[in-house]
Structure 1
Amino acid sequence: MRALKTLAVLLPLVAATACTTTDQSATGPQSLSGNAWKLSYFQSADEAKGREVPPSPENYSVEFMTDGTAAFRLDCNRLTSQWASTTSGTISFSPGAMTRAFCGEAAWDTRIARDLGSVRNYAIVGDTLSLTLAGESGTYVWKR
């Protein structure tokens, strides 16, 4: 009888935990939290543009912290933002704080900072993170 009472108390707690929708508490290889990524390229939905590789791609990275902070290195600048995601693959970034050094005409720092507000979905396949913009206008592809 005591086991039945314990089960009656624990079952709703387990069910509520299973309904959690944010990814921020999870860590591991298929999670955003606790992982760092380096930018590989931007895949435009416009076939004329196709795949665009940033100059010096090694200068672009993002780390998703377990506290919901995303720390970006955008060429010579840094950007910090809050992020939230769901297990269904949606993601959003809050407006963040960014340093404002001039990295050069070809740098993607301001482009990526601007596009973060349009990121709607993410997918992790192996060591690849895809951040897709609203309207599927393009995807930033990052590698571990």
Structure 2
Amino acid sequence: GRTTFAGTEEPNLEAKGVAPDVRVPVTLETEQAKLRGEDPVLEAAIAELDRLTDPVTRLTGTTWRWVVSVSTAGEQTTIAEPDSYTLTFAADGSVAIQADCNRAGGAYTLTEDGAFTITLGPTTLAACPEGSRGEAFLNYLGAATSISYEGANLTIVLNPDSGAFLLGFEPVK
């Protein structure tokens, strides 16, 4: 393969024989990254694959646990028992929700422009222990407006009228 960008004399690093075709300019920064043991081509390929990945596929490949919320005032709250608050999205548009001691079903929509909604369905009505965030969790989910990803983590942005600005999730391992 070529060692310069097409039509230029600018050298590049490349991964040969793989798709997508990813090339990174040879710069002082990329050379220093290689000396630190980093792989600029791999990082660029991962970023490109993230960009190319269908958002619904990313959403449905795992169960997500609620790890943090950020209020409209900017206050961050870490969720003490994240495994008690989970979401599992299916490719058919359904969502299974664990909200502390209760379970709920529902449906979600995700448009190409990133608009996202959850419509809650039937919910069990068990009395959760004091301090439970189950009811708030369900209310927040009903106020979802969009999603985004940071690395492997999912962020659900909420309507500000809900009292929270966003919910942060990580994949259950």
Task: Please classify the TM superposition score into its range, dividing by the shorter chain length.
Answer: 0.7 to 0.9
Are 2:60 and 1:41 aligned? no
CA RMSD between the two structures: 1.9
Distance in 1, Cα, partners of 2:70 & 2:107: 24
Distance in 2, Cα, partners of 1:130 & 1:35: 14
Superposed CA deviations along residues 21-78 of structure 1, whole A, max 9, x for unmatched, are xx68x52xxx21232111111011213xx11123322211111111111111111111
Distance in 1, Cα, partners of 2:132 & 2:118: 21
Distance in 2, Cα, partners of 1:134 & 1:92: 10
Are 2:64 and 1:60 aligned? no
Give matches, 1:1-144, under 5 Å: 26-27=56-57, 31-47=58-74, 50-135=75-160, 137-144=164-171
Once the two structures are TM-superposed, the CA of residue 135 in structure 1 deviates from its matched residue by: 3.3
Alignment partner of 2:136: what SS? helix
Greater relative contact order (Cα < 8 A, sep 6+): 1
Q: How many residues align?
A: 116
Give the AA of the match of 2:71: S
Would you identify which runs of 4 or more consecutive aligned residues in structure 1 move more than 2 Å?
none
Using structure 2 for the length normalisation, give the TM-score: 0.61
Pair member with larger Rg: 2
Once the two structures are TM-superposed, the CA of residue 122 in structure 1 deviates from its matched residue by: 0.5
Alignment partner of 1:63: what SS? strand
Distance in 1, Cα, partners of 2:123 & 2:99: 9
Using structure 1 for the length normalisation, give the TM-score: 0.73
Give the AA of the match of 1:42: S
Superposed CA deviations along residues 95-119 of structure 1, whole A, max 9, x for unmatched, are 3111111112211111111122211
State whether residues 54 and 107 of structure 1, in contact with CA within 8 Å, keep that contact through their aligned partners in structure 2: no
Gaps of 5+ in 1: 1-22
Distance in 1, Cα, partners of 2:92 & 2:166: 25
Alignment partner of 2:96: what SS? strand
Gaps of 5+ in 2: 1-53
